[in-house]
Amino acid sequence: MLTLRKSADRGHADHGWLDSYHSFSFADYHDPAHMGVGNLRVINEDRIAPGTGFGTHGHRDMEILSYVLEGALAHQDSIGAGGAGVIRPGDVQRMSAGTGVRHSEFNHAAEQATHFLQIWLLPQRSGIAPGYEQKHFDAAAKRGRLALVAAPDGREGAVTVHADASLRAGLFDGAERAELTLDAARIGYVHLVRGALRVNGQSLQGGDALRLDGETRLVLEDGQDAEVLVFDLAP
């Protein structure tokens, strides 16, 4: 079964310094029909104005992935240098909040908005030690294919996420096409970051998402400057 969620149906908050679209209920946006998918709880598409950012705040017992599209995101935290640095386009950072971490995130690009996705996954167990991992996946690694960027076992060079979930990223244009075998007992979730793409026969535009239940195959084709994320999730 395929369930399409259009970009325009997401929650939206414009705080001036932050323009954010929420795929699932978050902060002041609450929709009982969209609390998450499986163990995926948050996909926020954020644009942070130059010279601004998120002040110090806390998290616990959540796996948080940052995926930067444009600009640069500077990061500081309460556990030392392991979580400090800059996240740039092509980078994927995993923060395990675990027993608790306080951190801040700021636009590191002086003359442009920083555009990134914030993704939250429920961990397989609570109370783990907080930690970070960050890796770069260049455009060539994602061109016309689905590169594994996050997985529980860190296979294929992915960041290790402490959740029963994996994430792939791909870039598709023109005749580029990819297929992926799915486990029908799990949930597939496709989030089109930008561009246009046909997914299992459904036409998606940037910001659209497609949930796949009971499906055994994923087909991506007819891309137009498309960047896509594909989640494999515990039910």
What residues of the chain score a pLDDT lower than 50?
Answer: none
> Under a CB-based contact definition with an 8 Å cutoff, are residues 212 and 205 in contact?
no
pLDDT, residue 4, reads: 98
pLDDT, residue 83, reads: 54
> Under a CB-based contact definition with an 8 Å cutoff, are residues 210 and 199 in contact?
yes
- Does pTM surpass 0.85? yes
pLDDT, residue 80, reads: 61
| Tens digit of each residue's pLDDT (9 = 90 or more) over 171-222 | 999 999 999 999 999 999 999 999 999 999 999 999 999 999 999 999 999 9
Which CATH code fits 2-233?
2.60.120.10
Exposure string (b/e) for 202-225, b if CB count within 10 Å is 16 or more? eebebbbbbbbbebeebebbbbee
> Any idea where the domains of the chain sit in the sequence?
2-233
Q: What is the DSSP letter of 157?
A: G
pLDDT, residue 34, reads: 96
User: Which residues, at least 6 apart from 23, have a Cβ–Cβ distance to it below 8 Å?
Assistant: 5, 10, 34, 42, 43, 44, 45, 191, 209
